[in-house]
Structure 1
């Protein structure tokens, strides 16, 4: 009897010991050298030119430049079109994570989509590398331990263009705003800067995303008599608004257009004759220095349309590169999003496009910004020579101070 009990007790202890060891064994098993990246953006509509297939090309360059393939890593890349609809974006992301075992989602232009995907990413414990979405809420009240915002945000845009134009005499504003999360955040942040800088907001009107006819909105802006008409929109909405504003004679009538978010692809589409004189803020321009020129010329060769990279495309490259280098430093992919993002924040970023810089506790990459003006046609020396730099905004001034952050990850 005693012997039988002893044997059963020994067996129970052995099983218990095995059970305790199992998580460690499982952890060792899932930490490997495989990673799957999903580029999620607008492939076919108003934001396709500023990201779309170009962002996929940039991600591929980051994979190649990481050198991980030569070290035995297996890296897969997939892409999807969220159609600027949060439900579509979330469904694609969920399928990728659940069925295709995607570890990280990159780009996500359209703030409504990005906010929804960020919540899903947190629940599923994978990673979101945001380059395309502008809302500062992603590193503010909606921040998560799984999301990085790398390239820019509405706070940066407001404190660049909004502050500069107000201090230059544009002290009354009227907004044309895209009616979704991004437009609302950009109008909110710019209005705050205008008011703080001594200006006034006379009003505004909101338009649906992907609007083709801006006539009624522009007439309201014209009748407001505001010195500055602030375009709190992006992509095709911005270019359409600028073209139609020219037809309505808004600038000729003495009002100034503020393109609060303008990309090089937008200027290329408008042409210098129409876009000349526009003032705007970006954190990247292909012709900034030798390193940006060298990389951008490499990129142009693989770009599906042979274009120069936008700010957000450059951001996709840089943040994916930092993610992959972090995995390499970790010695493998733990397939634990929060753990990887925490390590990304520990390691300083360093790439040829944005240089060296930290990732803050809120997930925001500290990065300088630049106030640009579109050149006159006679000032341009050749294709894609569109910008002249007016001012540099320090990385600290381009990001909301941590002491003012609403991000619950920030210790105060």
Structure 2
């Protein structure tokens, strides 16, 4: 049934004027898309020790976000590039520079390896482009290395180490031995865990750093075992973490009463290790596929394409790319500062998080979760590996701005 209505002449004139203005603004906005395309470069470890947790699966997640925009914003095509930086900062920098200078890439995404991420963040600031870091963990990316041209999205060394250390010390794990990857991520994690353990009333009684990557952890695990520490904290990820936990299991550390604390855990790690070995391990995560209806629905789509469930960073890559494209759509521009301003004032509500927000330092803050690896008896399926024990509110999960060294925070 139609409802009759009338327009006065003045209202018609106003509507026409508004339409003309809107059309002019739309034309101006479209013209502000550089090169008449939105160009995204996915730069990550596609073949090395971190390729399972991000790698080709991360590229697929970003492709899903692009496809959900029908591969265009307005009438501007979205073009996706990808490259393997092989965890080499020089290679990552050279690739990023070529993308920025010769291919006109607007957004560089992924960026596992803190050294690569820090290098690329400096480049996008110099070239006035944009980057969203989803894979690298060093909290310094939005602290001393913050820039107005990049965001840090999924997690960081502060958010995963603080919650884990506090919970484990509270449960009696008051003496620690830290085994860390010998590069920026491992160093940052080692420093943060040491602070968190001390603040919780515990003590770090020994430390060792291993090369990245490492296939033989025998000598490092023997040192940790000999320390007598109640908790062996592993500041490693990917294949390094899998190798370290497997070696510790072979040497009987857990059977002898020591606890393995995996400070950076991904679902692919636990799938590789297996529940019999990893069961009971507690850790902090930014996302899990079986958290709620939205996460399950998106994970099902992802699984249909890849035949595996997504890690938290792969989910974060979809979310961050989708939110970036929403910002381009809303502002009608790929201008980095306009994008950043829009993302800072717009809450993030999607399959990754609810009420996430981007702070002045470029950190996207959201709830984090204390999780535990299920026992084989608790698991109801191949990818039913974790259970969420508690929620760590966003304001508690990440480094407080009052402690920030970020130049952008100092100006506010």
CA distance in 2, matches of 1:295, 1:162: 31
Residue-by-residue CA offset, 1:264-321 (whole Å, 9 max, x unaligned):
0011111111111111110100000111000000011122xx1100000011011111
Q: Does structure 1 residue 354 correspond to structure 2 residue 357?
A: no
**Greater than 6 Å deviation, 4+ residue runs:** none
Q: Does structure 1 residue 369 correspond to structure 2 residue 368?
A: yes
Asked if the contact 2:174–2:230 (Cα under 8 Å) also holds between the matched residues in 1, the reply is: yes
* Structure 1: stretches of 5+ with no match in the other structure: 1-25
Q: Does structure 1 residue 410 correspond to structure 2 residue 392?
A: no
Cα offset, 1:99, TM superposition: 1.0
Asked if the contact 2:182–2:212 (Cα under 8 Å) also holds between the matched residues in 1, the reply is: yes
CA distance in 1, matches of 2:127, 2:344: 20
**In the alignment, what sits opposite 2:394?**
395
Shifted more, 26-35 versus 194-203: the winner is 26-35
CA distance in 2, matches of 1:194, 1:273: 28
Aligned residues, how many? Answer: 384
Q: CA RMSD in A?
A: 1.7
Cα offset, 1:347, TM superposition: 2.0
CA distance in 1, matches of 2:81, 2:402: 38
**In the alignment, what sits opposite 2:295?**
292
Q: Does structure 1 residue 341 correspond to structure 2 residue 343?
A: no
**In the alignment, what sits opposite 2:146?**
143
User: Structure 2 matches for 1:56-135, cutoff 5 A?
Assistant: 56-67=59-70, 69=72, 71-135=74-138
Asked if the contact 1:322–1:350 (Cα under 8 Å) also holds between the matched residues in 2, the reply is: no
CA distance in 1, matches of 2:67, 2:130: 20
CA distance in 1, matches of 2:376, 2:217: 26
Q: Does structure 1 residue 192 correspond to structure 2 residue 195?
A: yes
**In the alignment, what sits opposite 2:332?**
331
**In the alignment, what sits opposite 1:31?**
33
* Structure 2: stretches of 5+ with no match in the other structure: 1-27
CA distance in 2, matches of 1:69, 1:341: 20
CA distance in 2, matches of 1:320, 1:28: 19
Q: Does structure 1 residue 316 correspond to structure 2 residue 317?
A: yes
Asked if the contact 2:29–2:331 (Cα under 8 Å) also holds between the matched residues in 1, the reply is: no
Cα offset, 1:28, TM superposition: 8.4
**In the alignment, what sits opposite 1:162?**
165
Cα offset, 1:383, TM superposition: 1.5
Asked if the contact 2:73–2:325 (Cα under 8 Å) also holds between the matched residues in 1, the reply is: no
Asked if the contact 1:280–1:371 (Cα under 8 Å) also holds between the matched residues in 2, the reply is: yes
**In the alignment, what sits opposite 2:377?**
378
CA distance in 2, matches of 1:222, 1:300: 39
Cα offset, 1:71, TM superposition: 3.0
